[in-house]
Amino acid sequence: MTEKYEAVIIGGGVNGLGTAYHLGKKGFTDVLVLDKSYLGYGASGRNGGGIRQQWTSEDNIKLARESRKMFERLDDELEEDLEFYQGGYLVLSFHEEEAAEFKENVKLQNKLGVDSKFLSPEEAKEIVPELDISDVVAATFNQSDGTIYPFKVIHGYADRVREIGIDIKEHTEVTDIVTQGDEIKKVKTSEGNIKTDTVINAAGGWSSKVAEMAGAEIPNVPVRHEIMVTEPYKRFLDPMVISFEHGIYFSQSEHGNIVGGIGNPDEEPGLNQKGSLWFLKNFSDTLLDFIPRFSGVHMIRQWAGFYDTTPDAQPILGSVPEIERFYQVNGFSGHGFMVSPMVDKVTAELILGEQPSMDIERLRVERFEDMDLEEEGGVVG
Ligand SMILES: Cc1cc2nc3c(=O)[nH]c(=O)nc-3n(C[C@H](O)[C@H](O)[C@H](O)COP(=O)(O)OP(=O)(O)OC[C@H]3O[C@@H](n4cnc5c(N)ncnc54)[C@H](O)[C@@H]3O)c2cc1C
């Protein structure tokens, strides 16, 4: 049986569900969200829950700043305790050259209303007394950054979206997007066809495959990133700690578990979600260099997901030139959760033909053809 919807969202991660939520809030409810697996099967159910505004590009700083404000209100909106804990983010530098860049980053962040601070190693140690600062040259810190519990956000959105009257179907894979000229006619799925003229590509690591189905091209490449969690321990670590140079990040959850990951610079692109021994060894060794007190903690689980990467590590938003009403909300690399509230609001506004709350012209896919790219330098892992 062929069904009909005004819009179909491909992907039941934070951005697919967040976009549905913002559409629904504006009374646009003839929408179907599809996921080929369960909600949160993609990176949204596999990430570190980090919410950071300390970025190097204006667009990312603004997106993250507005999103942080929205996360502060989201508990009330979704009537759910999302465990948003604003213990800050401590970003460590181990080289003078990088420290000089950090100073410039802080200036830009302050100018854009993010209250980050440049710190000496000793000041960093005051925030995390267990930190080994022998090789640390400088740090930055922003108190209103923090962590959130990703599954609670996803299911909070899903519950609200269903209440508003939007349909969600799990275990339904989109296999083709049928177009005629530059118009979308229908979406083919593993469970039947759906007539629609509006499709939102929120397919995370699979987004370039989904774009191909409609005959559009986006440059996104999925790259595996691994992460782990330990047994719970008495809380002693307030902020998320990260180092761009080591590709490491770690924080302690409200329940006491240490959650952290490290990027493998030699990781080949591809749809690989297996755990590796490389990760276990390199994460543990690096973690102990940072905080020797972690010696003897017990990891209970490791897993992997994808960074959906773009050449400038910035997201792709808005429609594509080839096809009408084919909206992209993808390419988030390792920061698609923390920017999602603002991104999803703007995506809903674009779909409805409204003036977007934030200018996203520099984040359109056309930038790869006709603009000088501004590469985001604050990517961890
Ligand atoms: C290890 C790791 C740690 C991270 N840490 C952080 C962090 O601390 N903070 C942060 O902000 N970000 C982090 N990220 C990145 C963040 O998780 C992602 O950017 C974000 O979750 C992307 O959400 P999304 O909704 O766009 O895509 P996803 O969550 O990937 O969702 C895409 C969905 O699309 C579905 N799908 C794909 N193809 C089809 C199809 N053909 N038909 C139907 N459904 C389909 C998939 O099943 C999937 O559920 C991390 C990522 C990883 C992997």
**Separation of CA 43 and ligand 1 centre (Å):** 3
Q: What is the pLDDT of residues 277-295, one digit of tens each?
A: 999 999 999 999 999 999 9
pLDDT of residue 372: 75
> CATH 3.50.50.60: does it fit domain 3-46+151-219+312-370?
yes
Cα(354)–Cα(59) distance, integer angstroms: 20
- The number of the ligand 1 atom at minimal distance from the alpha carbon of 173 is 42
Candidate of 176, 206, 242 to mutate for ligand 1, largest count of ligand atoms within 8 Å of Cβ: 206
**Separation of CA 242 and ligand 1 centre (Å):** 20
- The number of the ligand 1 atom at minimal distance from the alpha carbon of 261 is 1
- The number of the ligand 1 atom at minimal distance from the alpha carbon of 205 is 30
pLDDT of residue 379: 77
Annotated domain spans of the chain: 3-46+151-219+312-370, 71-147+221-309
Nearest CA owner, ligand 1 atom 21: 44
pLDDT of residue 6: 98
Q: What is the pLDDT of residues 316-363, one digit of tens each?
A: 999 999 999 999 999 999 999 999 999 999 999 999 999 999 999 999
**Separation of CA 306 and ligand 1 centre (Å):** 7
Cα(84)–Cα(89) distance, integer angstroms: 13
Nearest CA owner, ligand 1 atom 35: 11
Q: Which residues, in sequence order, are CB contacts of 298 under 8 Å at separation 6+?
A: 230, 231
Cα(32)–Cα(25) distance, integer angstroms: 15
pTM exceeds cut of 0.85:
yes
- 291 close to 162: Cβ distance less than 8 angstroms: no
- The number of the ligand 1 atom at minimal distance from the alpha carbon of 45 is 29
pLDDT of residue 2: 62
**Separation of CA 194 and ligand 1 centre (Å):** 24
**Separation of CA 316 and ligand 1 centre (Å):** 14
pLDDT of residue 375: 80
pLDDT of residue 377: 79
DSSP string for 231-247: EE------SEEEETTTT
Cα→Cα distances 64→55, 71, 125, 202, Å: 8, 10, 26, 18
- The number of the ligand 1 atom at minimal distance from the alpha carbon of 337 is 11
**Separation of CA 204 and ligand 1 centre (Å):** 5
**Separation of CA 206 and ligand 1 centre (Å):** 9
- The ranges of the chain with pLDDT < 70 are 1-2, 371, 381
The hierarchical CATH code for the domain 71-147+221-309 is 3.30.9.10
Sheet containing strand 257-262, strands side by side: 117-119, 138-142, 89-93, 240-243, 248-252, 257-262, 221-232, 299-309
**Separation of CA 234 and ligand 1 centre (Å):** 30
Pocket of ligand 1 (CB under 6 A): 10-16, 34-37, 41-44, 46-50, 173-174, 202-206, 210, 225, 227, 261, 305-307, 330, 332, 334-338
- The number of the ligand 1 atom at minimal distance from the alpha carbon of 304 is 1
Q: Which residues, in sequence order, are CB contacts of 130 under 8 Å at separation 6+?
A: 236, 237, 291, 292, 293
